[in-house]
Amino acid sequence: MTRSRDVASGIIIGTTANRPTGFTGQLYFDTTVDTLLEKTSTGWLSFITQLPSFDLLVVAGGGSGSYGSYAGGAGGAGGYLEYADQSLTVGNTFNVTVGAGAAASGLAAIGNNGVNSSFSTLTASVGGGGGGGGASASANPGRVGGSGGGGASNDTSAGGVTVGGAGTSGQGFAGGGNGNFTASPFPSGGGGGAGAIGQTAPNSTTGGAGGIGKFTTLSNNIGANAAAGVLSGGNYYFAGGGGGTCFAGGGSAAGGLGGGGAGGLSSSTVGVSGTANTGGGGGGGSSNTSGGAGGSGIVVMRYLDRFADITTIAAGLTYTRYQTGGYKYYKFTSGTGNITI
């Protein structure tokens, strides 16, 4: 058996054939493969590949439903992006921004767009959800966003078809339109979601439903271990679109799974706001009742728990740290500021 020890570092040096049984955390330089190894609970692994690797979920704030004298369009969901196995240099500083949900709009105004979220230059900006189209003397299309807002109702004085706003490629889908139904109760379209387009009004008496949000393997892991997203059928959804509505006498529609708010109902109930920290769009408002505000976004980091905690987190960021199942999770729920890893 031929092994040696580097005096300066204390690392044992030898061939693959002479590799010791070792203990967890021990280092060994294997001259056969010319690689520094570390003993882990699963065996000898390359020390280089054991540098931190980060998974990221980034969701922007949802758009608000509009507030009209007829039926306002629903808000679109905030944009959704995720990144797996990112190599971020330890010791560097990164800016984190969690986009706020859009505030509810004023009477006869088009809905507001949600605020973008971002993780340094890696994601650039994840687009806030598009606001719902406004319904007053003239009907408006939904606004462009991470997912697009729904189109407003088409009353006889306005004329013409309204359509949903476009979504951002790779982040979300377009909103739905009013279906060109020109008779009362004048339906509006649903907001787009991260998983599907918002529904165009299916008939003259029902608003379009919000587009469904999105789930993935990463979102399911984050949802189960870091208390985030909307659980349904064993999956955790984010970024559902808001539901459309109708003028007096019609029916409102449900928001999309993943935090989308339902549309308001005539003059009796306001549009439901998107759920906080999902990026859900707000429901459309009807007959001078307010549309729902957009739900705030979220940014989550995940990495193996054998690595150190994040070194510094700016006071302007609200976050919760979780450690479970072999990972550390940092869930940022509001604010903007720098972190150092």
Element spanning 335, H or E: strand 327-340
Q: What burial letters (b/e) apply to 220-249, b meaning 16+ CB within 10 Å?
A: bbbbbbbebbbeeeebbbbbbbbbbbbbee
pLDDT at 249 over 80: no
Give the confidence band of 137 by pLDDT, cuts at 50, 70, 90: low
What single-letter amino acid sits at 335? G
pLDDT higher than threshold 50 for residue 68: yes
pLDDT exceeds cutoff 60 at 1: no
**Residue 173 pLDDT greater than 70, yes or no:** yes
> How many Cβ atoms sit within 10 Å of the Cβ of residue 339?
21
Higher pLDDT, 320 or 38: 320
For the beta carbon of residue 17, count every other beta carbon within 10 angstroms: 9
pLDDT bracket for residue 103 (50, 70, 90): very high
Residue 179, SS3 per DSSP: coil
Q: Please determine, for residue 2, whether its predicted confidence score (pLDDT) is greater than 90.
A: no
Buried b (16+ CB within 10 A) or exposed e, 55-67: bbbbbbbbbbbbb
Vertex 206: Cα angle to 107 and 243 (nearest 5): 60
Report for 18-22, 68-72, 333-337: range of highest mean pLDDT? 333-337
The residue type of 152 is: A
pLDDT of residue 245: 92
Q: What is the pLDDT of residue 6?
A: 57
Question: What tens digit of pLDDT does each residue of 15-38 get?
Answer: 988 888 888 888 888 888 777 888
Whether residue 311 contacts residue 271, with contact meaning beta carbons closer than 8 Å, is answered with no
Residue 283 has φ and ψ, to the nearest 5°, of -70, 150
Per-residue confidence (pLDDT) for residue 251, from 0 to 100:
75
Higher pLDDT: 128 or 335? It is: 335
Residue carrying structure tokens 């949900």 = 101
Per the CB < 8 A criterion, the answer to whether 209 and 244 are in contact is yes
> How much is the pLDDT for 8?
55
Predicted local confidence at residue 21, as pLDDT = 87
Q: What is the pLDDT of residues 278-305, one digit of tens each?
A: 999 999 998 778 899 999 999 999 998 8
Q: How far apart are CA 101 and CA 262, in angstroms?
A: 16
Give Cα separations from 55 to 26, 86, 88, 292 (angstroms). Answer: 27, 6, 10, 32
User: Residue 219: which H helix or E strand, with range?
Assistant: helix 217-226
Whole-structure pTM value:
0.84
Q: Is the pLDDT of residue 53 over 90?
A: no
Residue written as token pair 């598009």: 130
The mean pLDDT value of the chain amounts to: 88
pLDDT at 277 over 90: yes
Tokens 């408006």 belong to residue: 140
Tokens 């979780």 locate to: 322
188-229: pLDDT as tens digits: 999 999 999 999 999 989 999 999 999 999 999 999 999 999
Q: Is 5 helix (H, G, I), strand (E, B) or coil?
A: strand
